[in-house]
Structure 1
């Protein structure tokens, strides 16, 4: 099990980013009701249980977003913006859930990046310091 967990952690040079995969973790993050909805993404944030400096991120796209192809495209785009924004801007020790919205699959990529940055600021989950933009 530890092997599998290590495979799910990426060392980006700034923050270690792991994936949220358990339903209980998604429900815990949603239960804290710390969220912000932007046109391209809904972001939910919660402190990570325990004292780890890890950033954990989960992705979800419901059938409201579209068919399987559209949902998969939306999740891929969310993963891409996370790879760009989160290593420098995510607060260590927090769990993040990104929920795709109807516009996620078709929204301009630069606007999606801005949506995520704005959501991080509004939820108070933006890392303070030099890399935060």
Structure 2
């Protein structure tokens, strides 16, 4: 059986997705951006702030399992989906994470993203 998505590995793809729609949930942040016909793609990012390598890899495995289950039904066609792990996401109930991902994808489908994050750095 073919995978329901293609994994993103290039940094440029992640940077481009960061300019797209952002939907924040307690366990993760979803970024979604159209990719001009390259299919349904998935990228996963979990930073060192979340925990050690064991914790980060566990969270990535949970995200891949969620994506295999949810993206074929609710994912956006020809779109890059990036899941960014948030603190506490690894302890969240799997069913709750699945419901949050479905809700986030529904919001992204409707074009309803969250407000842009404030820029970091010095104010002028």
- TMscore range, shorter length: 0.7 to 0.9
SS at match of 1:65: coil
Measure the CA separation in 2 of the matches of 1:40 and 1:51.
29
TM alignment of 1:17-96, pairs within 5 A = 17-32=5-20, 34-48=21-35, 50-52=36-38, 54-96=39-81
1:11 aligned to 2:11?
no
Structure 1 stretches (4+) deviating beyond 4 angstroms? none
CA distance in 2, matches of 1:74, 1:83: 14
Q: Secondary structure at the match of 1:11?
A: coil
The CA deviation at 1:11 is 2.3
1:95 and 1:84 map into 2 onto residues whose CA distance is: 17
User: Match of 2:5, SS?
Assistant: strand
**What is the TM-score of this pair, normalised by structure 2?**
0.83
Structure of greater relative contact order (alpha carbons < 8 Å, 6+ residues apart): 2
Distance 1:73 1:116 in 2: 17
**Scaled by the length of structure 1, what TM-score is found?**
0.77
Once the 2 structures are TM-superposed, how far is the Cα of residue 117 of structure 1 from its aligned partner?
A: 0.6
